[in-house]
């Protein structure tokens, strides 16, 4: 090849990440700051070719059973090959496909599949197009369809669809002591990736049919049930609540505090002869530590709720 | 989803509003612990 | 030189995630050892506190970070999540 025309091959490079050994930080400090506990193989092979007309490049990235943790999300068993027919600007043919055993953020999303392509419109910032991305959660499906993420844009929106999630399985995953629930959830959660990080614009999940919620406060059950007025009544009603309407709203503003709203209508046949109840429960707080705690298998005990009921400065109960 | 219209029993439901701040307790405790640990371990903080 | 001395000079920086790092390209030899020792001991303490409170070590570390900066000497650099530094 003379100076004006040439060709070079990069790699093949095969990185085998091991918990105590090679970690992404050694390859790229930028990556090292964001990704830890990496495990598994990442292979890369690239070609460069230059002619007077310019430089063309292509590369193949192959992941084999790759696992890692980034912030509060853990990925395991990421496998698949991505072919870039151009690196600068980045571009891939359609239908690049990656699968993962699980993506876990508090709760595990399993059998994950992502079908995407990367496109760099004339001079514009690269666009990641998700044809479909999703997995199974608590017996149901959580997925995104036809989403576009403009990598240069200030904000990007993606709506996550939820279908047929079993509440009993979900409660099992969340390991909430003392809570049993049945019914099926479906809905949409609009996500917004902006300068403030991840924001959730009032996601909504609702029970598609009626069902039951049973909440027991363990040792404190009797004392709480015995409390006068609203707390006692609420605790007794929730012992075996037959709902016909149940909806959850999830909101995360820029400030980062997650707000969970639960609305339930129904009755407890054993309380006030099944007199109808309507619950509006708002759980707010920096749920990131709670989600992360769930990830380390720490159970979300009802004592958090119980402390709120005992009004130790973590919440209040009104009755109308 | 469309609210289902059904014949409601005449009696008005008992409405209970419950507001819970989930992290208040944990964060406050940790902040107190932080100040204590930082005082006691000057060589690493 | 000590941790405080190297922080005052801006050789070692505090970070938003509760750990320290070497901030300059040609630090004095002991800087790297101090950073490794300090981070190891902090990691252990965050892990213990996390277990007691039932939250993640990362959440604990993020709560400690501003408190550490409060006590750190004037001149200490603090690295924010977006990678930029502020100097005390």
In tens, the pLDDT along A175-225 reads 777 889 999 999 999 999 887 678 898 999 999 999 999 998 776 677 777
Backbone torsion region of residue A87, taken as left when φ is above 0, otherwise alpha when ψ lies between -120 and 50, otherwise beta: alpha
Is C49 close to B35, i.e. CB distance below 8 A?
Answer: no
The shortest CB-CB distance from B45 to any of C37, C63, C68 is to: C68
- Tokens for C21, please give them: 């790092």
Is C60 close to B43, i.e. CB distance below 8 A?
Answer: no
CA dihedral sign, ordered A272, B21, A292, A288: positive
Beta-carbon count within 10 A of A30 CB: 11
Residue range B14-42: mean pLDDT, rounded: 81
Q: Which of residues 8-27 of B touch A (CB under 8 A)?
A: 8-9, 11, 13-27
Task: Give the closest-approach CA distance of B2 to chain A in angstroms.
Answer: 11
The shortest CB-CB distance from A275 to any of B11, B24, B25 is to: B11
Indicate whether this complex's ipTM tops 0.85: no
Q: Which of residues 248-307 of A touch C (CB under 8 A)?
A: 288-290, 292-293, 295-296, 298
Is B26 close to C49, i.e. CB distance below 8 A?
Answer: no
Is B34 close to C41, i.e. CB distance below 8 A?
Answer: no
Task: Give the closest-approach CA distance of C28 to chain A in angstroms.
Answer: 21
Listed residue (C18, C33, C35, C3) closest to C78, CA to CA: C18
Residue with structure tokens 């570390």? C61
Residue range A26-48: mean pLDDT, rounded: 87
Query: Which chain A residues are within 8 Å of C58, Cβ to Cβ?
Result: 71-72, 292
Long-range contacts of A107-115 (CB under 8 A, 24+ apart): A107/A137, A107/A138, A107/A170, A107/A173, A107/A174, A107/A294, A108/A137, A108/A173, A109/A134, A109/A135, A109/A136, A109/A137, A109/A142, A110/A135, A110/A136, A110/A137, A111/A135, A111/A136
Q: Could you tell me if C42 and C60 are in contact, meaning their C-beta atoms sit under 8 angstroms apart?
A: no
Q: What is the pLDDT of residue A303?
A: 61
Q: What is the pLDDT of residue A123?
A: 72
Among the residue ranges A10-19, A30-39, A56-65, B17-26, the one predicted with the least confidence is B17-26
Backbone torsion region of residue A138, taken as left when φ is above 0, otherwise alpha when ψ lies between -120 and 50, otherwise beta: left
Q: Could you tell me if A91 and A64 are in contact, meaning their C-beta atoms sit under 8 angstroms apart?
A: no
Three-state secondary structure call for residue A1? coil
Quick one: which H or E segment has residue A283?
A: strand A277-285
């Amino acid at each position: 090849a003379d100076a004006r025309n040439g060709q070079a091959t990069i790699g093949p490079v095969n990185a085998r990440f091991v918990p105590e050994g090679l970690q992404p930080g050694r390859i790229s400090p930028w990556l090292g700051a964001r990704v830890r506990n990496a495990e598994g193989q990442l292979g890369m092979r690239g070609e460069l070719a230059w002619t007077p007309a310019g430089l063309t490049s292509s590369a193949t990235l192959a992941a084999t059973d790759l696992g890692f943790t980034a912030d509060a999300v853990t990925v395991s068993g990421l496998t698949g090959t991505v072919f870039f027919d151009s690196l600068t600007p980045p571009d891939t043919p359609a239908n690049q496909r990656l699968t993962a055993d699980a993506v876990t953020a508090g709760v595990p999303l399993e059998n994950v599949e992502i079908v995407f392509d990367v496109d760099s419109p004339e001079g514009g910032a690269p666009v990641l197009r998700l044809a479909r991305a999703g997995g199974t959660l608590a017996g149901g499906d959580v997925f995104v369809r036809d989403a576009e993420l403009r990598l240069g844009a200030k904000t990007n929106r993606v709506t996550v669809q939820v279908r047929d999630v079993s509440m009993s399985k979900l409660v099992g995953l969340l390991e909430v002591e003392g809570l049993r629930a049945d019914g099926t959830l479906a809905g949409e959660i609009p996500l917004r990736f902006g300068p403030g990080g991840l924001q959730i614009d009032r996601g909504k999940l609702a029970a598609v049919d009626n069902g039951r919620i049973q909440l027991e406060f363990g040792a404190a059950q009797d004392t709480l049930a015995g409390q006068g007025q609203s707390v006692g009544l609420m605790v007794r009603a929730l012992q075996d609540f037959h709902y016909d309407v149940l909806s959850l709203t999830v909101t995360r503003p820029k400030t980062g505090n997650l707000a969970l709203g639960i609305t339930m209508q129904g009755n407890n046949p054993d309380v006030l002869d099944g007199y109808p109840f309507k619950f509006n429960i708002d759980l707010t707080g920096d749920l990131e530590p709670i989600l992360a705690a769930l990830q380390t298998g720490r159970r979300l005990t009802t004592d958090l709720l119980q402390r709120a009921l005992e009004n130790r400065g973590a919440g209040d109960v009104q009755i109308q | 989803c469309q609210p289902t219209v059904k014949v409601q029993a005449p009696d008005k439901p008992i409405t209970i509003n419950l507001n819970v701040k989930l992290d208040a307790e944990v964060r406050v405790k940790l902040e107190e612990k932080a100040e204590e640990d930082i005082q006691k371990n000057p060589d690493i903080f | 030189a000590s941790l405080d001395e190297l922080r005052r000079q801006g050789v070692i920086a505090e970070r938003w995630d509760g750990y320290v790092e070497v901030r300059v390209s040609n630090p004095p030899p002991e800087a790297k050892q101090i950073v490794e020792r300090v981070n190891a001991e902090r990691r252990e303490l965050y892990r213990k506190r996390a277990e007691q409170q039932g939250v993640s070590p990362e959440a604990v570390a993020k709560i400690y970070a501003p408190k550490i900066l409060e006590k750190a000497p004037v001149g200490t650099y603090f690295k924010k999540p977006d990678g930029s530094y502020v100097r005390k």
